[in-house]
Amino acid sequence: MSDNNIFSKAPNIMHTEPAIECNFEEFKKVVESRRSVRNYTQESIPDEVVQECLRLGLLAPNSSNLQPWEFYWVRSEDKLKKLKAFCLNQPAARTAPTLIACVARPDLWKRGQRINQEYFANRHDTPKSVHAYYNKLVPFVYGNGPLHILAPFKTLAVVMLGLFKVIPRGPFGRSGNLLWATKTTALACENLMLAFRAAGYDSCPMEGFDEVRVKDLLDLPSEAAVTMIISAGKRSPQGVYSERIRGAQDMFIKKV
């Protein structure tokens, strides 16, 4: 296989960014103390804390840096009440002062493409491969034509080509792009929940909601998908229902 391709060839980069020292013990405290909280006190989270946690959410790794996510911080009292009802009035939603709908936007890959194209357009040190990536590869991979008509042809081409060489196998088509955007959105969700914990607040991810009604409430198009709704606030003494239950590590961690 040729080594001279867009994936294997390292671009000539001028940027440097040292890895700063972090406190692993503090990080472990954040991860270990994050629990799904189903009952909150009435204390609200200051707006600037929510804003900062959302900002940290947006620093999550994301596919091709296309950022196919959106976070709907529901502020209107009326909408919040409706959203709680659409979360089946489950305690994790009903008692929460803050609800954020985390939405995957596979349909908005061009928005992410534009962010990157605009950033790199005015920098003369941008390697050619970066322009090729955003101008050619991204539209090929994420664009499927009207009604995703090109998806089966792309899939077939990849299957055929894959018989002879190592190639990426997607994402292609409506379901491929949905999975693609959902993976990335879920990573931001975890960042967001860890940020709330580090700031002294708690959260609960929820997929127990009526997605049709939620999308209607938020005026979302059919291709958008609500990955999860995250509630947040201060945990009440009965906020965590049980101690943490996990299977033995060797069930999940495979050393191969």
Binding flag, residue 228, ligand FMN (CB under 6 A):
yes
Of 219, 193, 202, the residue nearest 83 (C-alpha): 219
Residue from 41, 63, 65, 90 touching ligand FMN (CB under 6 A): that is: 90
Give pairs for 126-134: CB < 8 Å, separation 24+.
Answer: 127/11, 127/12, 127/13, 129/6, 129/9, 129/11, 130/11, 132/6, 133/6, 133/64
**Phi (first) and psi of residue 147, to 5 degrees:** 55, 25
Task: Reply yes or no: is the peptide bond before residue 152 cis, omega within 30 of 0.
Answer: no
**Phi (first) and psi of residue 214, to 5 degrees:** -65, -45
Among the listed ranges 30-38, 40-48, 76-84, 108-116, the one in contact with ligand FMN (CB under 6 A) is 30-38
Residue from 43, 118, 207, 216 touching ligand FMN (CB under 6 A): that is: 207
Q: Which is nearer to ligand FMN, 90 or 155 (CB)?
A: 90
Binding flag, residue 36, ligand FMN (CB under 6 A):
yes
Q: Can you tell me the distance from the alpha carbon of 54 to that of 196, in angstroms, rounded to the nearest whole number?
A: 9
Query: Shortest distance, CB of residue 36 to ligand FMN, whole angstroms?
Result: 4
Binding flag, residue 84, ligand FMN (CB under 6 A):
no
Residue from 103, 204, 214, 220 touching ligand FMN (CB under 6 A): that is: 204
Query: Shortest distance, CB of residue 37 to ligand FMN, whole angstroms?
Result: 8
Q: Which is nearer to ligand FMN, 43 or 207 (CB)?
A: 207
CB atoms within 10 A of CB 47: 11
Q: Which is nearer to ligand FMN, 92 or 99 (CB)?
A: 92
The residue ranges that bind ligand FMN (CB under 6 A) are 35-36, 38, 90, 92, 204-208, 228, 244
